[in-house]
Amino acid sequence: MMDERVKEFEQILHGVLRRAGIWKTNLYYDDYLQDLRIAVLQQLRAEPDLKAEQNPALFKWLHWRLRDLQRGYQRREARECAMTLAIEEAQVAGDEFGRSELYLTLAQLRTRLADDCQMVNLISDIMAFPDDALAQRAPRIGVSRATAYRMQGVLRGYLLNGNVE
């Protein structure tokens, strides 16, 4: 019943995404759309008589919700970029100690995340083929490039936050 009601709001959701300049080619398009659907569902639970058309207040609220999501993704990407740079600098400098420390950390993380098969596969692939691009890595672990990119982001978050033990 509620899922059917959420479908009524698809036009406004896509309008919010267009207004923010987010197109289907955006890496996070599906994530943003899903988050907005969840927001509408929560709003419907709080306000069952919510209208899908002629509702500028809902549009504005969803737009600000999307902006919050974008800021979160930008912060996450900034942390990921910092981690990528640190790894690349260690590789360029030939820092064997730093590289071995990274491999030990990845091995600990792989053990800690043993329940998550996809993350274990990603970590193992990074350890086996550290210089390969995402386009080469994604098919080997059996996920799309977008999913592999998000998984690498999660992995960078673990490494940056030091939550390995």
What digits encode the pLDDT tens for the residues 34-85?
999 999 999 988 888 888 888 899 999 999 999 998 888 787 776 666 666 6
Determine the length of the chain.
165
Q: With beta carbons less than 8 A apart as the criterion, state whether 108 and 165 touch.
A: yes
pTM of the model: 0.50
Please report which helix (H) or strand (E) contains residue 90, including its range: helix 56-93
Mean pLDDT of the chain: 81
- The DSSP secondary-structure symbol of 54 reads S
> What confidence score (pLDDT) does residue 35 get?
92
> What confidence score (pLDDT) does residue 87 get?
64
Q: With beta carbons less than 8 A apart as the criterion, state whether 17 and 63 touch.
A: no
Query: In terms of pLDDT, which residue wins out, 98 or 3?
Result: 3
CA distance 117 to 73: 24
130-154 per-position pLDDT tens digit: 778 888 888 888 888 888 888 888 8
> What confidence score (pLDDT) does residue 94 get?
53
> What confidence score (pLDDT) does residue 127 get?
80
Which pair of structure tokens corresponds to residue 71? 């800021």
CA distance 2 to 15: 21
